Amino acid sequence: MSECGKGFVIILSAPSGAGKSTLATHLVQTVAGVRLSVSTTTRLPRPGEIPERAYHFVDQATFQAKVERGDFLEWAEVFGNLYGTDRANVDPVLARGECVLLDIDWQGARQVRARLAPAEVVSVAILPPSRQVLQERLSRRGSDDPEVVTRRMALAGEEMAHWEEYDYLLLNDDLTRACQRLVAIVTAERLRRERAGGNIQAILATFAE
């Protein structure tokens, strides 16, 4: 077993603009044994995106065939494109005792919980300081026109309505503090009794002799 003991999935969900990607990157770069899942999608690559690193890019027919075979741990349609988490990319990581980080919405989180045991999933909802701050962040990005910002805000309301389904609520009002707290969550979850690694089990066994 690695430091992670028994591997588990870490779900991060948040409205667009809440800082989820920044927090996810920090966690992967800071905590050993946490791997960011690479999603499969039907959308076209954007400039600078490297296939197999940013996403696994496939056509609609290939994606649909994977859905029919039950290959995905979760999948959804977002703004006309399909996105999914291929279980074949998750199971080997968990088997090594490492953690897989999923950047997915509440619908995807529900699917993952339905397909994995409760001990295999830790979910974190990332919250913006306020609705006004979130709208300001989205508007300042300048990458979306006003209509898209409006749609994203509507989706934000839907995402936030499912906060009770998550194990942890992480307020991102200060990025440094939010990063520290996310690391603390994962560290604490790794120390749970039911996830004790082989080295811990070996130590306990010596006291049972």
Tell me the pLDDT tens digit for each residue of 24-58: 999 999 999 999 999 999 999 989 898 888 899 99
Give me the amino acid identity at 204. Answer: L
Greater model confidence, 165 or 2: 165
Residue of 124, 118, 115, 123 lying closest to 73 (CA atoms): 115
Query: Quick one: 162 exposed, middle or buried, by C-beta within 10 A (0-12, 13-18, 19+)?
Result: middle
Distance CA 204, CA 209 (A): 9
pLDDT at 3 over 50: no
CATH homologous superfamily for the domain 1-35+105-198: P-loop containing nucleotide triphosphate hydrolases (3.40.50.300)
Q: What is the pLDDT of residue 54?
A: 87
Q: Are strands 34-36 and 99-103 parallel, antiparallel or unpaired?
A: parallel
Residue 148 pLDDT > 90? no
Three-class secondary structure of residue 104 per DSSP? coil
Residue 108 confidence (pLDDT): 95
Which of 106, 99, 97 lies closest to 76, judged by CA? Answer: 106
Phi, psi for 9 (deg, rounded to 5):
-90, 135
9 forms beta bridges with: 100, 121
pTM: 0.86
97 or 143: which leads in pLDDT: 97
Q: Rg for the chain (alpha carbons), in Å?
A: 18
Q: What residues does each domain of the chain span?
A: 1-35+105-198, 38-89
Position 146 scores a pLDDT of: 82
pLDDT digits (tens, 9 = 90+) for 82-141: 999 999 999 999 999 999 999 999 999 999 999 999 999 999 999 998 998 898 888 887
What tokens appear for 207 in the block? 């006291």
Using alpha carbons only, give the angle 32, 33, 36 rounded to the nearest 5 degrees. 105
What confidence score (pLDDT) does residue 195 get?
Answer: 86
The superfamily in CATH containing domain 38-89 is: Guanylate Kinase phosphate binding domain (3.30.63.10)
Which pLDDT value is given to residue 37? 95
**Greater pLDDT, 176 or 3:** 176
User: Which band of pLDDT confidence, cut at 50, 70 and 90, is reported for residue 143?
Assistant: low
